[in-house]
Amino acid sequence: MQAIQSYITKNKDRFLNELINLLKIPSISADSAYKNDVFKAAEVIRSSLENAGCDHVEICETDGYPIVYGEKIIDKNLPTVLVYGHYDVQPPDPLDLWNSPPFEPVIQKTDIHPEGAIFARGASDDKGQVYMHVKALEYMTTHNELPCNVKFMIEGEEEVGSVNLGKFVASNKEKLTNDVILISDTGMIAKGIPSITTGLRGLSYVEVEVTGPNRDLHSGLYGGAVANPINILAKMIASLHDENNHITIPGFYDKVENLSDEERAEMAKAPFSLDDYKKALDIEAVYGEKGYTTNERNSIRPTLDVNGIWGGYTGEGAKTVIASKAYAKISMRLVPHQDWEEITELFKTHFERIAPAGVKVKVTPHHGGQGYVTPTNFNGYKAAAKAYEKTFGQVPIPERSGGSIPIVALFEKELDSKTILMGFGLDSDAIHSPNEHFGIGNYLKGIETIPWFYKYYSEMKG
Ligand code: BES
Ligand code: MN
Ligand code: MN
């Protein structure tokens, strides 16, 4: 494995250019106008896996976007690592807030990345991180240093809930058998400070519709005399948190696991500056559930947030109108043991119950998934920790993340294997936001670290 550093130095420009080509494809899974581009990105992933040395690569069609599957089986008696990632990306809007077009990647220096960062939608989430694995495989196959079997499963629907991947996994258990699942689709604590993500939150995503009168009304002639669905929706949403910012849905916290004082003290040891946090977001104060720190609020505690709200007149100038309907999209981030389907039901029942007479309420569930916690005492975690220590010179810090990759819990259920989340992104990467970027240093460090994981994992298993 000693040649990995010089291989990266020699091939750095090619590694960047190949990723840039992938980033040029607007593979936005949420927007059907980009359907052909999503398929095109799958094709690029397929050929990249072939070029990196997979023996067998196929595009597996689904009812939605395809799953790219690739493998290199060197010996049935050796362990198998299954790499998962996604080639679809979030919509790039609002476009006017990007400093350069989201699908015309540019390299720019930043304070955190003096060596440069690639700016493009998907740079960090998740094309850049998927491509680290492709290039790590290329290194291992070209240097005859692949110590175990490897399977790749790269999907195109992660950003829209992985609905078809769930079916694919359930009906291809044999094909997907593995000893450990390896994913780079999360972040690390800070540049140069390695960490391993040990938890993901679950998710329940719903849309609500409040209907008042059967048509839009003159707000002078009718205002004050009928329920205004936008006023009502705002009131209903406001009531979902109490004065301590606890969520008021009955039963919502019933299955939430409370961490012990020791576990919370352990968490508080992770490097974190509240001042830097506020500065980075240009806010005077943080805000959240009483009794918990910022890092607890965004990882081990469940949340409820409005992601979008609309209705009535939002065009130029003023129009005096009481809308017939008001809408909101609401996400609830869940912690392990909270069941997302149960929470969705609790939400629905509660939201319908608190609606006053004079409006009708409709709750439509979108998608969801369970949370996940990775143990730190099994060989997958130990191998990953050793790999980080090798390339960063520091033991990685275990860290529970607030984000969700719902399919991870399903992997455990269907394939009976644990997932190691080796993320190389940073909070400042602006994933899902304008000006998403991925530090070149992070990208190359990922390529360097991954082969060590394979080596140590194989040794520990063997
Ligand atoms: N890669 C992210 C999740 C993530 C990012 C986890 C950073 C931890 C740290 C993933 O692509 C994502 O955006 N997931 C969605 C859920 C999905 C069902 C749309 C999310 O968390 O909002
Ligand atoms: Mn992702
Ligand atoms: Mn994402």
pLDDT digits over 182-220, tens only? Answer: 999 999 999 999 999 999 999 999 999 999 999 999 999
Question: Residue 91 is which amino acid?
Answer: P
What is residue 416's predicted lDDT score, i.e. its pLDDT? 97
Report the C-alpha gap between 421 and 450 in whole angstroms: 11
Residue 164, C-beta contacts closer than 8 angstroms, at least 6 positions apart = 62, 63, 64, 65, 67, 157
Per residue in 94-103, pLDDT (tens digit) is 999 999 999 9
Residues 56-85: pLDDT tens digits?
999 999 999 999 999 999 999 999 999 999
404 touches ligand 1 (CB under 6 Å): yes
- Can you read off the two tokens belonging to residue 279? 């500065």
What's residue 327's pLDDT? 98
Q: Which residue's alpha carbon is nearest to atom 7 within ligand 1? A: 186
DSSP state at residue 330: E
Residues listed for the chain: 462
d(CA 432, CA 12): 26
pLDDT of 2 reads 84
| Per-residue confidence (pLDDT) for residue 7, from 0 to 100 | 98
Question: What is the pLDDT, as a whole number, of residue 462?
Answer: 79
Burial class of residue 207, CB neighbours in 10 A (0-12, 13-18, 19+): middle
Q: What band does 319 get if pLDDT is binned at 50, 70 and 90?
A: very high
| pLDDT computed for residue 350 by the predictor | 98
β-pairing, 360-369 with 202-211? antiparallel
What is the C-alpha separation between 305 and 278, in angstroms, rounded?
A: 20
Q: Best of 404, 408, 410 to mutate for ligand 1, by most ligand atoms within 8 A of CB?
A: 404
Q: How many helices (H) and strands (E) does the chain have?
A: 12, 18
Q: What pTM was estimated for this model as a whole?
A: 0.94
303 and 333 Cβ atoms separated by less than 8 Å: yes
Question: How confident is the model at residue 210, as a pLDDT?
Answer: 98
- 88 Cα: distance to centroid of ligand 2 (angstroms): 9
Residue found under tokens 């007149």: 313
26 CB under 6 A from ligand 1? no
**Which atom of ligand 1 has the smallest separation from the CA of 197?**
8
Cβ–Cβ under 8 Å, residues 349 and 208 = no
- CATH homologous superfamily of 4-200+371-461 equals Zn peptidases (3.40.630.10)
What's the distance, Cα to Cα, between the start and end of the chain in Å? 18
Average confidence (pLDDT) over 45-50: 98
List the structure tokens of 359.
């409006």
User: Does ligand 1 have an atom closer than 6 angstroms to the CB of 125?
Assistant: yes
163 — pLDDT class (breaks 50, 70, 90): confident
- Whose atoms come closest to the Cα of 197: which ligand? 1
Cα–Cα distances in angstroms (integers) from residue 140 to residues 2, 52, 74, 450, in the given order: 11, 9, 12, 10
Query: Is 161's C-beta closer than 6 angstroms to any atom of ligand 1?
Result: yes
Collapsing DSSP states into helix, strand and coil, what is residue 394? coil
Q: How many CB atoms lie within 10 A of CB 219?
A: 16
Angle, helix 440-461 to helix 4-23, in steps of 10 degrees: 120
Q: What's residue 15's pLDDT?
A: 98
Ligand closest to Cα of 85 equals: 2
Closest ligand relative to 203 C-alpha = 1
CB distance 126 to ligand 1 below 6 Å: yes
Q: Using CA atoms, how far apart are residues 153 and 182, in angstroms rounded to an integer?
A: 10
Choose one of 84, 87, 90, 158 to mutate for the ligand 1 pocket test, by most ligand atoms within 8 angstroms of C-beta: 158
Q: Tell me which residue of 304, 346, 297 sits closest to 328, measured CA to CA.
A: 304
The reported pLDDT for the residue numbered 297 is 98
d(C-alpha 26, C-alpha 102), whole Å: 8
The CA distance from 18 to 23, in Å, is 9
In this predicted structure, the answer to whether residue 126 has a pLDDT above a threshold of 90 is yes
The pLDDT value recorded for residue 316 is 97
Please give the number of the atom of ligand 1 that sits closest to the Cα of 159: 19
Q: Quickly name the fold that domain 202-256+302-369 has.
A: Alpha-Beta Plaits (3.30.70)
Domain ranges of the chain: 4-200+371-461, 202-256+302-369
Nearest ligand by distance to the CA of 121? 3
Average pLDDT over the chain reads: 97
Query: How much distance in Å is there from the Cα of 244 to the middle of ligand 2?
Result: 32
* Amino acid making up residue 134: V
Instruction: Compute, in angstroms, the gap from residue 158 CA to the centroid of ligand 2.
Output: 7
Atom 13 of ligand 1, residue of closest alpha carbon? 159
pLDDT(1) > 90: no
Average pLDDT over residues 259-280: 93
Ligand 1 mutation pick, 159, 189, 399, max ligand atoms within 8 A of CB: 159
Q: What's the one-letter identity of residue 83?
A: V
pLDDT in tens, 6-26: 999 999 999 999 999 999 999
